[in-house]
Amino acid sequence: MKPKPKATEKHSTSEILRFAHPFFTTVPIDQRPQIEGIGNRMTDYVQTQLEPIPDPIRNPTMMLAEIIGDEGVAEVEQSGQLIFHSVGDTGTNGSAIQQAVADAMTADYNIVQPELSPAFFFHLGDVDYYNNTDKGYNEQFYEPYRTYPGKIIAIPGNHDGELFKYDGTSTGQTVTLQEFQANFCQPVTGVPTAAGTIYREMISQPGVYWYLNAPFIDIIGLYSNVAENPGYISGPTIGTAQKDWFTQTLKNILAARNTGVRKALLIATHHPPFSAGSHSSSTDMLIDIDDSCTQAGIMPDAFLSGHSHNIQCYTRYVTFNGNSLVIPYIISGGGGRPVTNVPSANGVKVADSTTLPSSHTFDKSAKSYGYSTVTVTAQQLSIAITTVDENGTKNLFDTINVPLM
């Protein structure tokens, strides 16, 4: 007769956590026990899952002439204003609403008077969802914008850098941002293979993060990596190269401004510093950005993001170098991906969890599709937010004006 097998040894139930992860707790962060290999916050784990940031292919500085040519720049300078579109989270397969937004943006162009039209479209990331291949880019990017007249530049979103889909299968790329770089950061300006029979000249962006030196405005686009939440521009696993470059670029911009040229400064990331709908605020990223701004001695005049598939408008109040600054932080994520719920804005001023003395208000929100149009002159930066419905009808949602002092 065979002996009975011993009972399987069980762990003490006291070792089993009440929640799926140990970070749902009211215990202050500095008093929590360290989870081996992770840390004491959920964001500590997120940072271990980030993908490396590709090095730029050259100095990450662009001039507007690289996008629209010398003649186009001359037209902008003569008109006294620069106009451009901006929105994120567009990638879908044959979506009627993505096409409606693209067509609404296209209708803003007047080929008879190009100086009164947008100079380019600044995409805020998530160009492609779950199919980072030539086929995916053709369906989700080139086809919807086949009649859009303007050049398109971009920063990547989290889905652009993904290696695996939500079901664990490959997105089609073996290296993060492989397809994004093939279409936005090609060695020379031209028509990428993913465009197929659609003629769209894509410029040669110097990298996935960059600085655009344009008349009336300086624009810095940063890459906030692949996490669903939150975003990061630097960290233990991805290093500080992007942030170090960002800090030095800000210093260079301030030096140029001190010579007497006062241009607007716009910073953009895919993940939003402030968000109340479908995605949370990227507080650690904002701390990083504030630190670079503090080191350089300059703050943005406005901040653009996507990621949340809706419209959200915030105002940040900052005391910086003895000055009281009022800075709009806009989420423009209604480019075509299904819109997500967002609470009603309450206008209540809330203190920021950063190293700067600052607070913000949540001013407006909408579960709507649409896009932003930025117009900048020597005196003012203006952001007009346009909603677009399923029938392609456009309505002005809000206009934010920032005087340039």
Q: Are 204 and 55 in contact (CB under 8 A)?
A: no
pTM, two decimals, is 0.93
394 in any annotated domain: yes
93 in any annotated domain: yes
2 in any annotated domain: no
46 in any annotated domain: no
Q: Determine the Cα–Cα distance for residues 152 and 125; give it in Å rounded to an integer.
A: 12
Taking residues 296-316, what's their average pLDDT? 98
34 in any annotated domain: no
- Residue 262 pLDDT grade (very low, low, confident, very high; cuts 50, 70, 90): very high
- Residue 227 pLDDT grade (very low, low, confident, very high; cuts 50, 70, 90): very high
User: How is residue 316 written in tokens?
Assistant: 């940040």
Give the model's pLDDT for residue 16: 72
Taking residues 95-106, what's their average pLDDT? 98
Give every CB contact of residue 213 below 8 A, 6+ residues apart in sequence. Answer: 61, 62, 63, 64
Looking at the structure of the chain, the number of domains it has is 1
Give the model's pLDDT for residue 376: 98
- Opening angle at CA 73, ends 56 and 222, nearest 5: 30
Taking residues 331-338, what's their average pLDDT? 98
10 in any annotated domain: no
Is 50 exceeded by the pLDDT of residue 1? Answer: no
Taking residues 311-323, what's their average pLDDT? 97
291 in any annotated domain: yes
219 in any annotated domain: yes
Whether residue 144 is preceded by a cis peptide bond, meaning omega within 30 degrees of 0, is: no
Give the model's pLDDT for residue 36: 73
What CATH number corresponds to the domain at position 186? 3.60.21.10
Helices (H) and strands (E) in the chain, counts: 8, 15
Give every CB contact of residue 318 below 8 A, 6+ residues apart in sequence. Answer: 299, 324, 325, 327, 356, 357, 358
- Hey, what's the torsion of the CAs at 200, 212, 106, 195, to 10 degrees? 20
* Containing structural domain, residue 359: 67-403
